[in-house]
Structure 1
Amino acid sequence: MTEADVAQPSTTTPVVASTRDELRAARAALPSTDVAVVMTMGALHEGHAELLRDARGMADHVILTIFLNPLQFGPKEDLSRYPRTFDDDMRIATAAGVDIVFAPTPDVVYPDGDPGVRISAGPLGDVLEGKSRPGHFDGMLTVVAKLLHLTGARRALFGQKDAQQLLLIRRMVRDIDFPVDVVSVPTVREHDGLALSSRNTYLTESDREVALCLSRALTAGADQAAYGPSAIRRAAREILVEEPLALVDYLVLVHPSTLQDVPEWYRGEALLAVAARVGTTRLIDNTPILVGPGGGRLDVFSQPDNGSIPARPAS
């Protein structure tokens, strides 16, 4: 792939495949096997567009999947409420130079109905978001695994905003030996700092003002990174307590590979993450941080380590 190919992506309307056979035929028609995939549930926004542009810049071909996965929705979550904007999604896909859009229905992805075999997220899927949404990450990993097989992509791009999801996908790919590179892309934010999310469409104007406390808390915490974990947590918490209309589920500073709270002596990369309900909408946000002297906010984490918190240094 030449620099000219990257600089001038095709604006041809992508091939839309809705069945396995159609995807297989479209995939076989691509002149190169160098394929990147971006997986979504639709309702695309600028954050998704950034993923697609990055994918186009690192692979010969890009597949976008649009699938509203029922396994990721719990009994108290309304699947029918999720926005469906296929025509707008196609415009974004076309502008980003996507080659194939795979948009199957549930009976295509799960031909026998509710799958009897699922991929378990394990203990890492039971904390933070998993604690509030039991079974969510099992459903997510199951469909990601299926889509990796069906698309045959060499690279899969995911946003840093869904940090726990990203961690679990990396672990699945490593533990089950998927032949794919998982690429993390920095969180895309609106001009006022609000992390882009399909859920933002549910926010009223007043809700949106309240929601800004999440990104402000992360910024305040990151600004104290040089002074250690307690200073980070305290600064972020002070912002959140000033906004009583944001019902905070959690505010944590954890190791990026274990999701365990980092101790006060810890120095290195950490995840500062927050979840809160604003009005009727549950929002999440996070930022990678380098803790310790000279530390501060990061765009994404470096390549994951062996998943352990280093031993406390000798005094």
Structure 2
Amino acid sequence: MKIFNKKTDLKDYLSNLKLMNKTIGFVPTMGALHQGHLSLINKAKQKNDIVVVSIFVNPTQFDNTEDLEKYPKTLENDTKLLESVSCDVLFYPSVKEIYAKNIISEKFNFDGLENQMEGKFRDGHFNGVGTIVKTLFEIVTPNKAYFGQKDFQQLQIIKKMVKKNQLSVKIKGCPIFREKDGLAMSSRNTRLSKEHRDAAPFIYKTLKKVYAKFGTESATKLTEWVEDQFKKHPLLDLEYFTIADEKTLKTIKSKESNKKYRAFIAVFAGDIRLIDNIHLKN
């Protein structure tokens, strides 16, 4: 596996591969890698000649500086994991390499996708996401890029950004990778106390019950039911639960037969914020 810290070095290396008509699959990450990331890399390997993974904890997408400071950094272990799945290239730049002296976000218009769910609770988050993903796409110029559906809103926003900026990369959304007890894999899971880690699978159990009830109960009733479940839970605090249109991400009041819906949830387990979602069959 080749490791690059400088944009110019990576660009030179990849441009030579492109001259040989090699296709490039790209998996952008913030490190603290787990099996969910590796599943994305394996998907990329199946469909591309070369797989590039970036590790960069992006400061402009954190609205909470404490969360940024505490974000786990495990480069040595990450490198071993990447080698274990035969990753071809790791791009590990510094903040200065990406932003120079100007650590601010570009302003994007995502046609309102950014105003739903996460956007209501994390000020400026999606401008930060758009800025770093666009920058990385311009450096790597991949044929395809792979993102997990755990961050479904982010996935839709990146698709919108690619379309609006007429970038030539194809965005591939991949299924949520879960622990055996159902908890969606996340780098933040390592920061959970044992008590909160034991409690956290309740989130997915609740989503599965919503999935089962969605055919016969209204979105409003299901939302009230979920809120009630978490009010009774001693260790988990619900930040939001919503059933939304997959395309617009807007909360629905009533179901329509020709639309796709998804349930989204954000929960605090102590001071660790966990998100999850599930596709609903109408």
TM-score by length of 1: 0.83
Question: How many residues were matched structurally?
Answer: 278
Shift of 1:234: 5.3
Higher relative contact order (CA 8 A, sep 6+): 2
Instruction: Find the aligned partners of 2:10 and 2:32 in 1 and give their Cα distance.
Output: 21
Match of 1:162 in 2: 151
Instruction: Check the 8 A contact 2:204/2:276 in 1, yes or no.
Output: yes
Instruction: Find the aligned partners of 2:281 and 2:231 in 1 and give their Cα distance.
Output: 24
Deviations 1:266-288 (A, max 9, x none): 23321101101111101111111
Work out whether 1:108 is the aligned partner of 2:97: yes
Shift of 1:96: 1.9
Aligned partner of residue 205 in structure 2, secondary structure = helix
Match of 1:303 in 2: none
Unaligned runs of at least 5 residues, structure 1: 1-13, 292-315
Match of 2:9 among 9, 19, 22: 22
Instruction: Find the aligned partners of 2:105 and 2:39 in 1 and give their Cα distance.
Output: 35
Match of 1:273 in 2: 264
Match of 1:97 in 2: 86
Match of 1:44 in 2: 33
Match of 2:276 among 279, 285, 290: 285
Shift of 1:290: 1.8
Match of 1:191 in 2: 180
Q: Which amino acid aligns with 1:38?
A: V
Counterparts in 2 of 1:243 and 1:117: CA distance versus 1, 3 Å: closer
Shift of 1:28: 2.9
Deviations 1:211-252 (A, max 9, x none): 122111111001123225436445544543431321111010
Match of 1:62 among 42, 48, 51: 51
Match of 2:235 among 228, 245, 249: 245
Counterparts in 2 of 1:108 and 1:188: CA distance versus 1, 3 Å: same
Instruction: Find the aligned partners of 1:110 and 1:21 in 2 and give their Cα distance.
Output: 14
Shift of 1:124: 2.1
Q: Which amino acid aligns with 1:266?
A: E
Instruction: Find the aligned partners of 1:116 and 1:252 in 2 and give their Cα distance.
Output: 28
The correspondence of residues 122-271 of structure 1 with structure 2, limited to 5 A, is 123-230=112-219, 232-233=222-223, 236-237=226-227, 239-267=229-257, 268-271=259-262
TM-score by length of 2: 0.92
Instruction: Check the 8 A contact 1:217/1:237 in 2, yes or no.
Output: no
Instruction: Check the 8 A contact 1:26/1:100 in 2, yes or no.
Output: no
Instruction: Check the 8 A contact 2:106/2:128 in 1, yes or no.
Output: no
Instruction: Check the 8 A contact 1:228/1:265 in 2, yes or no.
Output: no
Q: Which amino acid aligns with 2:152?
A: A
Q: Which amino acid aligns with 2:90?
A: V
Instruction: Find the aligned partners of 1:66 and 1:226 in 2 and give their Cα distance.
Output: 41
Aligned partner of residue 134 in structure 1, secondary structure = coil
Unaligned runs of at least 5 residues, structure 2: none
Q: Which amino acid aligns with 1:151?
A: V
Counterparts in 2 of 1:75 and 1:208: CA distance versus 1, 3 Å: closer
Instruction: Check the 8 A contact 2:266/2:276 in 1, yes or no.
Output: yes
Q: Percent identity?
A: 31
Aligned partner of residue 271 in structure 1, secondary structure = strand
Aligned partner of residue 287 in structure 1, secondary structure = strand
Instruction: Check the 8 A contact 1:233/1:253 in 2, yes or no.
Output: yes
Deviations 1:189-222 (A, max 9, x none): 0000000000001101110122122111111001
Instruction: Find the aligned partners of 1:38 and 1:207 in 2 and give their Cα distance.
Output: 29
